[in-house]
Structure 1
């Protein structure tokens, strides 16, 4: 849970544009906030005074309607205080004190130390440990002496600064990574460790042995989809990052360039805070790795070898500067998406085609944990049969020799009968009684219709949108050529508004965006990853304004949060068009249906797979059928070239990728 903070008499106030000053001053929320409610809870509850602010959500829950904290009865959650840079002044010092002072009942109590009330929030001894403060002062003195041609080393018995520790004490990236409640995490670790299978325990112990011995090493944990020192967690996609502590994508965490080449480096300078964090890091976990281009991993490898000093000559040859790196994922799933690429180009772009793979130890997990959820002994046989069928699809075994593409038969018990209108049939199957469930966000959480292309996505979403009562709101985007694009006047005259408006690109909303209150939508941009707003987050529309959309998050750890999405200038980097389009639109799309590629990383209870067009790339069919938690949750509707229902469909598997593992 993200915890808000503010200085005295500076709590945020939310008001409508047409409100008068008098209306604003008489709002019930004036003088009330999550942070001020914490002070009141400390006065009211005796046990609250033993907790730090970051520990508070473990024992108390914040009621956003009444703006009060009350004792928690549901499972515990972890708190994280909003990041504040040192340049913020008193707010920065306030954040540091909140990680040290327990149970204050007012700002005055926060500024009181040993009976003395200090005038500012920068209290002595609270912002830095004495050793850290000494190092910082010594480093300043040493710098001044060096400029004057001298050094502290010339003075007998004079301490010399530890520059590494001095830099770490002011590095907020390191502070953030160490700002976890270790006691609670230790308890959670111990609880989860008892639940590990023998396979999982062996994987865990193998990796931790390398971490504890500081031996370095690269590991790939190969399994089904769904399987105190600093640990960096990153993911290859936005939706996968929501499943990780820290919630960061690899691109944002490591500064990976958008346009990669085989010689690229990450945007991390050796003297930056990020470089210092990497040097201190013990373990990097990178989820959904097979879907990333191998140049991403090679760029990080080159960067880390460059910024991490080697204590021995042999360490210089170790991948990733001798750090332990764990990749996770499933090569049966979708491989790197390269527009217009051939089969050979896709295979060559995969992680196991990189030189890094030669140093990678593969650790296998063979149990599909997604299908195990909520299962019992009666379902065990059916789960095993269904799991084997999914695995055979992923490995291309259902049609004998498969040299890339082959027809396979869909079992009749998961085939959906076509009632004459394929879109209506699949829609009513997955979204029955749609209008009656608009007030139930849980209805949309675990169900979706999956299709291979955006064309079918638009058709299904349009159909289901038309079934919802209520006024629709249509948003038209102002489109133009990006001002930074090097186009002369003649070229710009060729691309009229009609041409620009007609452009449809993956990952960018269309020129015309039609929405209704209650409709589920998916975010198409990473807006605020720390608060769960990233590419792939699903939400339900609550209010439709001219410039802002209000929605409720319905997936991930931030499910239930009310968020506001603004219109944004979006500039796609798609090379299929000869210019850079700039489109100002809400970064959302209706998501009753989504593409198979977009569903990767999600677990769903109800999936309708609509194959009006066959899958066209490696792993797509496997990804689609493996999204469900049980066989009962999967329905497949396949159409042939004449739009007649059939039980045969294409499966695409590049076996040369699987043979390298």
Structure 2
């Protein structure tokens, strides 16, 4: 509530001048809103204002807010689903302002406020006449329901006629064709009875989305200096793209010269360092961000600083050991720990992003980017107590550890004390929604996984010249068909002057990525973890080029070897000049010039012939020529023969790289590898012959 007051006090300025700066579209909607709020006898205003990225929604929100402050002398509650989006419109996050329940990684059940908290919020919001919610596409239908319930609770309108949303004027802004909610369905999808009962405990409810009327902004002001780029974005927004669009965007791709995956990563880091300081790298997944952030951190010469979280378990004594074991896992997912990682590695001079809303009035919100200038350690235990950062405006701030409570398992909670920061060289596209950037490096290739993701990333940039593409896959350009259908319904009902959006299902040629790190889509994770290997590689399994149309047996064999993490770990230790190592580098970098024939020749000249060969023989001959993996997979097989008459035993020893196992006769169930091994080697097989006479005589001589 203090943040709400601080943010509200910031709005002073020449409102009349701001009104004159509104374009025709903005002015029509502005007049409609101000007229509805000014008229005490009018109905409660519930309006959804849409518009593609860059149509001036943020400026319109600011103008409305200032006008209400000056001419009506009332407050406006401005909110958004993410910290960056909220800061962009000088507001607060929805969950923070309305104290909505949060559970990281899943949807929380609705809980009412205590009488004490409710009293405070009522007092602070009593002067609010209008509630604005921006970036509505990221708000789920269940969150919209929670907002309604909280507002009726705060303003006590549960039993009032038309008491929806606290009977306050409410505006929704945003584009349904941008990023959808991370969890649950979009706001225009009606809640099912099952979810209403599960999260709210009610038997049913009204479709809240149907309470809103509709209007739309049509004039793009963000890319107004680049009409060609604006037209491309308009088509991408609805999921269409032309050949000429692809050709133009291809010119913005980074021209990688390196062929090795790790070398390309370093090349990308060099590229980033040569761009302006305000450049942001937008990536589809957190995994890609981690790879880039680690690579950029390694370039800083100062010493690493490890910020280790202080965890306190709140649970039954017998659960504490198990809880701490879960928390100490190296692969801990920070989304399950309230966004605070157990160990954060930074350096002096590293760029970081604030992960929590610390002080909205100062701009220290979730998404704020700064550079670490110094650290302050405790005089007692030398632990890092505070971190000093400088933000883009040149202002320095001090960040301290926050206490956050989260659930680890049923009835087991942890209070974690940790700095709410992470490295920020790479930012997820989801976090960028609402931003306007002059320069951005964007990954828009095969790792795109959501409708509207490409559009959101590309539309952040004001001009085509400010866009730098790592990859671009036209088949990743997709729009939410349900959102298009909803837009057409809203236009028919409220804006019949606007034409319908056509749903076109294009067949677009897929462009394979130039691999610089990892792909988060359609991969088999074969991670290399070894003290001698600093990087970890996720492998994208794919077919090998079949240049001679006969090499299928070689392809299969090589894939088996490459995708064994143990064998690959050893192969990566080979010299770079080694033919196997060169082959792996080509495979990692998705190089089409992979020389399979060289690998076949390594196994033996007989495998160069255009005839089908036995797979097991090929593997044996190939491994025989790779010394450092022979010892790993070579096994010794001891076969013992025993005479039924005299019990004489004779053991023969065989070495091989291939283990042949027989399936049990009973095939009514599935078998694990261990069960097959036990079946084959845990008992004697009868051999229908006696020990040879020579052997028997030798045996008798020993007895004599």
CA contact (8 A) 2:357 2:364 kept: yes
Q: 2:207 aligns with which of 355, 368, 379?
A: 355
Post-superposition offset of 1:411: 2.5
CA contact (8 A) 2:353 2:422 kept: yes
Deviations 1:13-46 (A, max 9, x none): xxxxxxxxxxxxxxxxxxxxxxxxxxxxxxxxxx
Q: Secondary structure at the match of 2:450?
A: coil
Q: 1:513 aligns with which of 331, 341, 344?
A: 344
Which residue does 1:192 correspond to in 2? 18
Structure 2: distance between partners of 1:299 and 1:657: 22
Structure 2: distance between partners of 1:432 and 1:636: 15
Deviations 1:285-322 (A, max 9, x none): 111222122223222323434554679x9x61253233
Post-superposition offset of 1:243: 2.5
1:371 corresponds to 2:214 = no
Deviations 1:157-183 (A, max 9, x none): xxxxxxxxxxxxxxxx8x8788577xx
Q: Secondary structure at the match of 1:471?
A: coil
Distance 1:425 1:267, change over 3 A: farther
1:385 corresponds to 2:228 = yes
Structure 1: distance between partners of 2:309 and 2:174: 40
Which residue does 1:394 correspond to in 2? 237
Q: 1:424 aligns with which of 266, 283, 291?
A: 266
Distance 1:220 1:344, change over 3 A: closer
Answer with 415-424 or 284-293: which moved more.
415-424
Structure 2: distance between partners of 1:617 and 1:363: 26
Distance 1:266 1:386, change over 3 A: farther
1:282 corresponds to 2:129 = yes
Q: 1:327 aligns with which of 172, 176, 182?
A: 172
Which residue does 1:553 correspond to in 2? 391
Which residue does 1:597 correspond to in 2? 430
Structure 2: distance between partners of 1:428 and 1:647: 23
Structure 2: distance between partners of 1:354 and 1:618: 28
Distance 1:651 1:491, change over 3 A: farther
Which residue does 2:641 correspond to in 1? none
Q: CA RMSD in A?
A: 3.7
TM-score, with length taken from structure 2: 0.56
1:625 corresponds to 2:458 = yes
TM-score, with length taken from structure 1: 0.59
Q: Secondary structure at the match of 2:92?
A: coil
CA contact (8 A) 1:217 1:319 kept: no
CA contact (8 A) 1:336 1:349 kept: no
Which residue does 1:79 correspond to in 2? none
Structure 2: distance between partners of 1:448 and 1:344: 28
Which residue does 2:449 correspond to in 1? 616
Q: 1:204 aligns with which of 6, 16, 30?
A: 30
Structure 1: distance between partners of 2:129 and 2:387: 41
CA contact (8 A) 2:37 2:169 kept: yes
Which residue does 1:253 correspond to in 2? 97
Which residue does 1:483 correspond to in 2? 313
CA contact (8 A) 1:236 1:291 kept: yes
Post-superposition offset of 1:447: 1.0
Q: Which runs of 5+ in 2 are unaligned?
A: 57-72, 193-204, 377-383, 488-704
Distance 1:591 1:190, change over 3 A: same
Which residue does 2:44 correspond to in 1? 216
Structure 2: distance between partners of 1:265 and 1:395: 40
Post-superposition offset of 1:240: 1.7
1:466 corresponds to 2:466 = no
Which residue does 1:236 correspond to in 2? 81
Which residue does 2:576 correspond to in 1? none
Q: Which runs of 5+ in 1 are unaligned?
A: 1-81, 85-172, 376-382, 401-406, 434-442, 639-645
Which residue does 1:650 correspond to in 2? 476
Post-superposition offset of 1:539: 0.9
Distance 1:204 1:585, change over 3 A: same
CA contact (8 A) 2:101 2:108 kept: no
1:455 corresponds to 2:292 = no
Distance 1:252 1:307, change over 3 A: closer
Q: Secondary structure at the match of 1:549?
A: strand
Q: 1:659 aligns with which of 485, 504, 508?
A: 485
Structure 2: distance between partners of 1:266 and 1:239: 26
Structure 2: distance between partners of 1:422 and 1:410: 23
1:502 corresponds to 2:335 = no
Which of structures 1 and 2 has the bigger CA Rg?
2
Q: 1:533 aligns with which of 359, 364, 370?
A: 364
Which residue does 2:148 correspond to in 1? 301
1:588 corresponds to 2:426 = no
Q: When the two structures are aligned, how many residues end up with a matched partner?
A: 439
Post-superposition offset of 1:194: 0.8
Which residue does 2:59 correspond to in 1? none
